[in-house]
Amino acid sequence: MTGKPIVIFPYSRFGAFPAAERDWLAKLGEQRHIYMIAEDALPDWASAASIVPLSLARLPELDWDRTCALVLHPCWTHIAAPLASRSLIAYLPDSEPQEAERWRSYRSWLCARATLVVAATEAFYLEQAFCRGDIFLLDGTDETSDLLARQAIEWHIDGYESQMLIRLQQRYRAIWHEEQADKTRAAGRIAEAREQADMAALEQNNRAEGEQDAATLQQSRQAAAREEDDQAGIPAVYRRRLTDQLFFHAVYRYLTGESLRAQGELLAAFEQAVLDGREQALQHIYRFRSAMQLELGLIDEAVRTYLHTALSDEEQLQGERLLRWMDGGKHFLAEALLYQLNDDYRSAIARLEPLQADPEARKLLAELYLQSGRLESAYLLLSKEPLGSIAEREQFQLMTGTVLLLQGKRHEAIHCCLIAAETNIEALGNIIELAKLDHIVMEQAHHRDREVQP
C-alpha cells in the first residue's frame, strides 16, 4: 500500500462513521492502512472495510510523521493533539444538546490544532470558517458539495493543497443557497395562489348555502382553513426558510470576497426577517453589513452601521470604544474590533498580528486567540504580561495546565492545577474533569454492543 496510513479516533454514537461514508472509507482502504482506536472488536462494517483495530497502548508504535489522525469527537483532543501527526483532520458531527456546552472548549482547541476541519452541519462550518481557512462542509444535503469535501480530505491526507477546493465549495454553496431561495419563493407563490383559490371557493359555497347563516359558516371554514395551513406550515415556513437562505447566500458571498454583492443579499435577508417578525434581526443580520463594508474599505460607514445596531449597554460600550479608537487614529484596532463583533475572528487576527507592539492590540489579540481556540498562541502572548491579582495568577496557572495537557505533558498539567488549588480549591475540578475525560475516551474505544445499523 502506497498511501499514508489513517488512524480513526471514533465517536461511538456517530456509528464511527455515517453509512454514506463507509463505502468511501473502504475505497480509501484499498490504497492505505486504516486503523481505528479500539479496546475490543470493531463493528462488522469496519471489519468489512478492512479497518484494523488499534489499542491506545499501541499509539506510540506508529510513525506519526507519515500518519493522518482522523478525529470524530472532542474527547480525543488531549490524546490526538500531542501525537504531532503528519495531518490532523477534525471531522465532528453535532454533539447532543446536553453535550454541546461541555465540549465547546475541547472542540475549539481541537479545530485550532487541526490541519483540516470537516463540518457535518452548516452552522458549525460557518463558525469555523470565521476562525480558520482549511474547512469543508460534508453534511449530505448536496452530492456535489460532499464530493468536493471527500476529494479535499484525500488530497490533504496525501499532502496536497486543497485551497482551490475550499473556494470552489464556498462558491458552489453560495449558488446552491441562491437556487434554494428561488425555489422557496416559487413554492411560496404557489401556496399563496392556492390559499386565494381556496378562499374564493369558500365564498362561492357560502353563497350557495343560503339556508345557513353565511357569516357563521364563513368564519368556521376560514378557521378550519387557517388551521390546516398552520399544520402544513403555509406560508410561515416559506418566510422563515427564505430568510435563512438569503442570509447564508450573503455569508458565502462574503467568504468568497464578493462583499458588494453580499450586501444586497444581506439587506434582502434583513427585510425578509423583519417581515417575518424575527426578534433581534438588527443585531443578528443587519449588523453583519459592517463586516462587508470593512472588506470594501468603508470603515466610517462600517462603524456607523454597527452603531445603528448597538442597543444593549454592552454594545453601546463597544461602540464608544470604536469611536475612541477612530478619533485616536487607531483605525486598525477599530477594524479588528468590528470584525470581532461580527464573529469574524480570522480577519480580526490578521489585522492585529502585525501590531503586537501596541499594548491594546496585544490585549485584543489574546482575547481573539482564546475565542478562536488558539490557546497556545494566547498563552505565549499572556506569558509576557504582568500578572497583578491572585485571580489572574490562578487563571494563568490553569491555562498553563491546559496548554501542557495539549502538549502531552499530563503530570506537569496536573501540577499546575494543584498550584492553582493552593489559593482556590475549585481548581481541583480540572483534575476531576480530566478523570471524567479519560473515562469517556475509554467508552469511545469500546465498540462491543455498539453496532449501529446503516
Predicted confidence (pLDDT) at residue 354 exceeds the cutoff of 70? yes
Predicted confidence (pLDDT) at residue 452 exceeds the cutoff of 50? no
At 216, the pLDDT band (50, 70, 90 cuts) reads low
Predicted confidence (pLDDT) at residue 454 exceeds the cutoff of 50? no
Q: In what order do the strands lie in the sheet with 87-92?
A: 52-54, 34-37, 6-9, 68-71, 87-92, 116-119, 135-137
| Mean pLDDT value across the chain | 86
Q: Give dist(CA 91, CA 147) in Å, integer.
A: 15
φ, ψ dihedrals at 238, nearest 5°: -70, -40
At 256, the pLDDT band (50, 70, 90 cuts) reads very high
What is the pLDDT at residue 192? 63
Contact 70, 97 (CB under 8 A): no
Predicted confidence (pLDDT) at residue 212 exceeds the cutoff of 60? no
Closest CA to 121 of 106, 131, 135, 110: 135
At 453, the pLDDT band (50, 70, 90 cuts) reads very low
Burial code (b: 16+ CB inside 10 Å, e: under 16) for 107-141 equals: bbbbbbbbbbbbbbebebbbbbbbbbebbbbbbee
The answer to which of 224-238, 264-278, 415-429 has the lowest mean pLDDT is 224-238
Q: Give dist(CA 220, CA 229) in Å, integer.
A: 14
Predicted confidence (pLDDT) at residue 92 exceeds the cutoff of 60? yes
CATH numbers and ranges of domains, the chain: 6-173 (3.40.50.2000), 375-445 (no CATH)
Residues 11-56 have pLDDT tens digits of: 877 655 667 677 888 888 888 899 999 998 888 888 888 889 999 9
Contact 445, 56 (CB under 8 A): yes
If you search the block for the grid coordinates 475540578, which residue do you land on? 429
Contact 29, 50 (CB under 8 A): yes
What is the pLDDT at residue 208? 54
What is the pLDDT at residue 228? 45
Predicted confidence (pLDDT) at residue 120 exceeds the cutoff of 50? yes
Predicted confidence (pLDDT) at residue 229 exceeds the cutoff of 50? no
Alpha helices in 328-389 (DSSP H): 331-341, 345-352, 359-371, 375-382
- Sign of the four-CA dihedral 443, 106, 96, 247: negative
Residues 64-91 have pLDDT tens digits of: 999 999 999 999 999 999 999 999 999 9
Contact 59, 36 (CB under 8 A): no
At 441, the pLDDT band (50, 70, 90 cuts) reads very high
